[in-house]
A = this chain, B = another copy of it.
Amino acid sequence: MKHNFGAGPCILPKEVFEQASQAVIDFNGTGLSILEISHRSKEFEEVVVETEQLVRELLNVPSGYSILFLQGGASQQFAMVPMNLLPADGKAAYLDTGVWATKAAKEAKRVGQVEIVASSSDQNYNYIPKLYTIPTDAAYFHYTSNNTIYGTEVFDRPATQVPVVVDMSSDILSRNINIADYDLIYAGAQKNMGPAGVTLVIIKDELFGKSGRTNPMIFDYEAHAKAGSMYNTPPVFSIYVSMLNLRWLKAKGGIDVIEQENIIKARTLYDEIDRNPFFRGTAAVEDRSRMNVTFVMENAELEAEFLALAKERNLIGIKGHRSVGGFRASIYNALTISSINALVDTMREFEERKK
């Protein structure tokens, strides 16, 4: 059995793969593949309704918020957010916590005025800036809650009176959040929700039409909300598999249960990194991500050897991003504690060999 620590598109539960595989041949006993049914069929409309309902229930989304399933990933949201929320004469505030946050701000700058309120680029983004001021006249404040490359995570919503927009692509559905604290949350599906090809947007309806811009309708949140995510042909299969995965999460006990598992998984791995004299974590301890654990070796010359051993032990996808080096273990919802144990065992095995 392989332990997939890849950063994404990522691991989903085995039973979800099995159900998805079956539906490609015969969807719900219709005699048709999920790939050939009409998106306007009753059967598929039920899929969209159930997927939305599962998101609403699992994240306890209050009324007054719309749940959308769009295309184009978080990268398209980098553009849609300012197009929909940033007036031509307004400005938006961005927190810079790494590559993805930088890209979001850069794209917004092509739409309007952007102020970077703080950045941790001075230390290769290995921490989350804490002391900064968000201008009270900003149209919104944007940040990235989990930074996959650097292994940092923002757990608490920064205090501000302006609307808060968060890219939660890599930690959505991994822990409890109070949706009412946020105005717009978006997430590419391909970490904890489903396969690549669908993007989740949770938006406070009050934000519709806030920019005063004439955008193409396809980029208008309100148009998608009014159409129940069927403004145009949706990514049928990616939504369907997301539904299967959300069902799995619900059956498991929901966010409370998965959050406890995620805490234990992350702690087990960080404890070993802190204990094992051969390894060292790269992120500031108080900002350590529960989703992406980044670490290096005290002696960088041993990294190739550890990587080879990891491969032998069927641990895949643990090579770190080139901008940080070393290793990155992505430990999303579907990664089991037994995979964590396999990694920890391999780190201990390496220690035994070398000491």
- Which A residues lie at the B interface, using CB under 8 A? 2, 4, 6-12, 17-18, 20-22, 24-25, 31-33, 35-39, 71-76, 78-79, 83, 106-107, 110-111, 188, 190, 195-198, 214-219, 231-238, 241, 316-317
Of B25, B218, B233, B237, which contacts A79 at CB under 8 A?
Answer: B218
A296 shortest CB reach to chain B, Å: 21
Given contacts A25-B18, A233-B190, contact A38 B72 (CB under 8 A): no
Alpha-carbon gap, A215 to B9, bound state (A): 27
Please name the 10 residue pairs, one residue from A and one from B, whose CB atoms are nearest each other, closest first: A79-B216, A197-B235, A75-B232, A21-B24, A71-B71, A35-B195, A197-B197, A196-B236, A17-B33, A71-B72
Which residues from B are CB-within-8-Å of A17? 24-25, 33, 35-36
Interface centre among A8, A31, A196, A238 (most CB of B within 10 A): A196
A320 CA to B24 CA in the complex, in Å?
Answer: 26
The answer to whether B35 and A25 have CB atoms under 8 Å apart is: no
Task: Kindly list chain B residues whose C-beta atoms are within 8 Å of the C-beta of A75.
Answer: 218, 231-233
Closest CB of chain B to A242's CB: distance in Å?
11
B8 touching A38, Cβ below 8 Å: yes
Contacts of A71 in B (CB 8 A): 71-73, 76, 197, 235
Contacts of A18 in B (CB 8 A): 25
- A6 with B76: CB separation less than 8 A: no
CB atoms of B215 and A110 under 8 A apart: yes
Chain B residues whose C-beta falls within 8 Å of the C-beta of A36 in the assembled complex = 4, 6, 9-12, 17
Bound form: Cα–Cα A234–B76 in Å: 12
A-B contact pairs, 24 of them (CB 8 A): A2-B31, A4-B36, A6-B38, A7-B38, A8-B38, A17-B24, A17-B33, A21-B21, A32-B316, A71-B71, A72-B72, A72-B218, A73-B233, A75-B232, A78-B216, A78-B218, A79-B218, A110-B214, A110-B216, A111-B216, A196-B233, A196-B234, A196-B237, A235-B238
A83 contacts across to B, CB distance below 8 A: 216
Residues of B within 8 A of A35 (CB): 9, 12, 17, 20, 195, 241
Residue of B nearest to A38 (CB): B6
Contacts of A2 in B (CB 8 A): 31-32
Give the complex CA separation of A148 and B16 in angstroms: 35
- The answer for the CA separation of A214 and B82 in the assembled complex, in Å, is 14
What would 14 more interface pairs be, CB under 8 Å, given A72-B72, A75-B233, A197-B235?
A: A9-B236, A10-B36, A12-B35, A17-B25, A21-B22, A35-B195, A71-B71, A71-B73, A71-B76, A73-B233, A76-B232, A83-B216, A195-B237, A197-B198
Contact partner of A197 (CB less than 8 A), chosen from B32, B76, B236, B317, is: B236
Shortest Cβ distance from A341 into chain B, in angstroms? Answer: 19
Q: Which residues of B contact A9 (CB under 8 A)?
A: 35-39, 233, 236
Q: How far is the CB of A200 from chain B (nearest CB, A)?
A: 14
Tell me the complex Cα distance, A309–B92, Å: 60
**Min CB distance, A259 to chain B, in Å?**
22
Least distance between A231 CB and chain B CB atoms (Å): 7
In the assembly, what is the distance between CA of A92 and CA of B316, in Å?
A: 51
